[in-house]
Amino acid sequence: METWVDVPEGSGFGVENLPYGVFSRRGGPPRVGVAIGDRVLDLAGLAEAGLLTDRGWFAAGTLNSFMSAGRPVWQATRERLTALLTGPEHRGRVEPHLVPLSDADLRLPFDVADYVDFYSSRDHATNVGRIFRPNAEPLPPNWLHLPIGYHGRAGTVVPSGTPVVRPCGQRRSEDGPVFGPSLKLDIEAEVGFVVGVPSALGQPVPTAGFRDHVFGFVLVNDWSARDIQAWEYQPLGPFLGKSFATSISPWVVPLAALESARTAPPPQDPEPLPYLRCDEPWGLDLTLRIELNGHVVSHPPFATMYWTAPQQLAHATVNGAALRTGDLMASGTVSGPERDQRGCLIELTRDGREPLELPDGRRRAYLEDGDTVRIQATASGPGGAPIGFGEVTGTVLPASR
Ligand SMILES: O=C(O)/C=C/C(=O)CC(=O)CC(=O)O
Ligand SMILES: [Ca+2]
Ligand SMILES: [Mg+2]
């Protein structure tokens, strides 16, 4: 597929992708756009010019209204945008609605309804199980039977670029609990899916309902204070150790852009219960890349995730819990089997015992004030075209006291 837009070589934003976001230009009103090359196509502008159907979806500060419109609308919009961006006859009327990315202020793409975080990488769960519970089996007995998760704090999901203030809290010391800034501030590189179409209370959504409810995927950094977490989390799970901030990428990659990236997940043994069985393979050939202060420290492979997104969705609703537009469900930390494939510092440095030696001569056990973390990801698209997820970044600010 050829677009008349000049897409730089290696850009993950070719016409095969068309990820959705919300942007504003020079203090102007927010609007929905799709990324193409190093530009944003202004969908509200296209609609005003009569080039695109809009039922109040695009001159909006969030994607929620468009996401709730459902799959037939998502499909028709994608087909129309593809036609506009590939047909040379449309160029003259469409080109005025392309905004340079450098002029676009990217917002949180959707209002987050509920936020769930899973724990679906077997390598990650095994590695952190050994660190947090050295005297127990690394995988809890339920791990192979259900995708473990917890409910997080939707109101502290922030867009890429938002600074992260080092959290304060209680941590264990030899003399009892002490209060202060976390000494073990960490990241978690994850991929999340976003719900578009709600479901009714009392009605589970089966794995086969995934495509009808889920709009797309984003990158997630689930910032984690390991010392606060280790002291507070038993028996009810993560609380203040993770609720201070969770960052997401500004672009939502639609499911339709990920068809070529779909791959069989690792075999599941024991076979899951019937409600968790899935006819379609929803592993994704997607590689993450984590940079710390500009140095690449890891390449986590998403295809190794044990539990897939449709299984997570089916599990999260099997008790009848309803879905709302804007629900964000994150995969859990993405870690592969190799040392340089781990998705967080607690694994990469074995809880600080083996600090990273960065090429600039500095060492890192956990994050220090002023550190910047950047997570990117690329999936394989049709004919090998890269499908980019953009990036999620954040810089650590000192604790406020
Ligand atoms: O095993 C534990 O006690 C803790 C695990 C985590 O902190 C991971 C978590 O938040 C879920 C995930 O990202 O995989
Ligand atoms: Ca997490
Ligand atoms: Mg978090």
DSSP result, 228-239:
HHHHH-TTT--S
User: What's the complex ipTM?
Assistant: 0.93
Q: Distance between CA atoms of 348 and 338, rounded to whole angstroms?
A: 10
Q: What is the mean pLDDT of residues 113-133?
A: 97
90 catalytic? Reply is: no
What is the structure's pLDDT at 384? 86
Distance from Cα 242 to the centre of ligand 1, integer Å: 10
Sketch the domain layout of the chain as residue ranges: 20-106, 115-397
Q: How many CB atoms lie within 10 A of CB 45?
A: 19
Q: Which CATH number fits domain 20-106: 3.30.43.10, 1.10.760.10, 3.40.50.12280, 2.30.30.230?
A: 2.30.30.230
- Per-residue pLDDT for 48 more than 80? yes
CATH superfamily of 115-397: Fumarylacetoacetase-like, C-terminal domain (3.90.850.10)
Strand positions, DSSP E, 229-326: 246-248, 253-254, 262-263, 283-284, 286-292, 295-298
Could you give the C-alpha distances from 258 to 143, 162, 285, 379, in angstroms and in order? 27, 27, 9, 7
What is the structure's pLDDT at 388? 98
- Per-residue pLDDT for 393 more than 90? yes
Q: How many CB atoms lie within 10 A of CB 119?
A: 23
- Per-residue pLDDT for 309 more than 80? yes
Instruction: Specify the residue with its C-alpha closest to ligand 1, atom 4.
Output: 128
Distance from Cα 180 to the centre of ligand 2, integer Å: 22
Q: Distance between CA atoms of 58 and 137, rounded to whole angstroms?
A: 50
Q: Distance between CA atoms of 294 and 226, rounded to whole angstroms?
A: 23
Ligand located closest to 222 CA: 3
194 φ, ψ to 5°?
-120, 130
Could you please report the per-residue DSSP string of 166-211?
PPEEEE--TTS-EEEE-S-EE--EEEEEEE-S---TT-PPPGGGHH
Q: Which atom of ligand 1 is nearest to the CA of 148?
A: 11
Residue 13: DSSP 8-state = B
Sign of CA pseudo-dihedral 150, 151, 155, 159: positive
Q: Distance between CA atoms of 216 and 305, rounded to whole angstroms?
A: 17
Tell me which residues have their CB closer than 6 angstroms to ligand 1: 117, 119, 124, 128-129, 132, 188, 190, 222, 224, 238, 332-333
Distance from Cα 175 to the centre of ligand 2, integer Å: 29
What is the structure's pLDDT at 25? 94
Q: Is 377 helix (H, G, I), strand (E, B) or coil?
A: strand
Q: Is 33 helix (H, G, I), strand (E, B) or coil?
A: strand
Out of 97, 124, 213, 315, which one is annotated catalytic? 124
Instruction: Specify the residue with its C-alpha closest to ligand 1, atom 5.
Output: 128
- Per-residue pLDDT for 236 more than 90? yes
Nearest residue to 222 (alpha-carbon basis) of 21, 372, 20, 392: 392
Q: Provide the pLDDT confidence category of residue 1 given band limits of 50, 70 and 90.
A: confident
CA 393 to chain centre: 12
What is the pTM (predicted TM-score) of this model? 0.98
Q: Which atom of ligand 1 is nearest to the CA of 229?
A: 7
**Helical ranges in 261-338 per DSSP H:** 309-317
Q: Which atom of ligand 1 is nearest to the CA of 129?
A: 1
As a whole-number percent, the residues of the chain with pLDDT over 90 amount to: 98
What is the structure's pLDDT at 49? 98
What is the structure's pLDDT at 352? 97
The tokens for 268 are 């599941």
Mean pLDDT of the chain: 97
Burial of 279 by CB count in 10 Å (0-12 exposed, 13-18 middle, 19+ buried)? exposed
- pLDDT tens figures, 321-363: 999 999 999 999 999 999 999 999 999 999 999 999 999 999 9
Nearest residue to 80 (alpha-carbon basis) of 59, 61, 54: 54
Nearest residue to 190 (alpha-carbon basis) of 96, 266, 284, 54: 284
Q: What is the mean pLDDT of residues 126-147?
A: 95
Q: Which atom of ligand 1 is nearest to the CA of 120?
A: 14
Instruction: Specify the residue with its C-alpha closest to ligand 1, atom 8.
Output: 119
Residue 373: DSSP 8-state = E
Q: Is 125 helix (H, G, I), strand (E, B) or coil?
A: helix
Bridging pattern class, strands 164-165 and 295-298: unpaired
Burial of 273 by CB count in 10 Å (0-12 exposed, 13-18 middle, 19+ buried)? exposed
149 φ, ψ to 5°?
-155, 175
Distance from Cα 334 to the centre of ligand 2, integer Å: 9
